[in-house]
Amino acid sequence: MAPVNETTQNPLDPGTSGRLTHVRADGSAHMVDVSSKQETTREATAQAVLATTREVMSLLATGGLPKGDALAVARVAGIMAAKRTPELIPLCHPLPIAKVTVDFELGAASVTVIATVKTRGVTGVEMEALTAASVAALGVYDMVKAVDNHAVISDIKVLAKSGGKSGDWALGEGR
């Protein structure tokens, strides 16, 4: 297998001009130097979906879970996680997070976590939004596992981002 280097093509990310930004020419990982980037307002929204049973969703919606208000606990977990992303993801830059929202869309047998993170800085907040959505979904799982330890977390993805050199986009808009 050929070593990965800065000129390795990444067909999934046209914003990197075909190179992996966190990999040096010798193949080793490094933190990207963002000191010359322009400070802009940046925002990202991500989701995670927890699939469970209709019975659990009824308990979740009415606050009837044995552990209490799962959505309130999960919301706080997601907000805390966004602020701690650089401690969890090794090459993320610490960012001055200006705002984090964690919301829930309740379906018949699933809950979709929608997390939005905003900053004014030199790098984006996609990882913070993904971390917030993921950890909030983990928080919901922790609260429902007493009644459904077969719940499944899936469909974790960035839905939209704005700000920065690569511009604005939303999932489904020409992607």
Q: Which amino acid is at 94?
A: P
User: Who's near 62: CB < 8 A, 6+ residues apart?
Assistant: none
Phi and psi, residue 127, nearest 5°: -65, -35
Angle of helix 70-83 relative to helix 126-144, nearest 10 degrees, comes to 150
HSE (side-chain half, CA atoms, 13 Å) at 70: 30
- How is residue 128 written in tokens? 């913070």
Instruction: Name the active-site residue from 13, 33, 69, 142.
Output: 142
- How is residue 162 written in tokens? 């704005």
Phi and psi, residue 48, nearest 5°: -145, 145
Catalytic (active site) residue 142:
yes
- The catalytic residues are 142
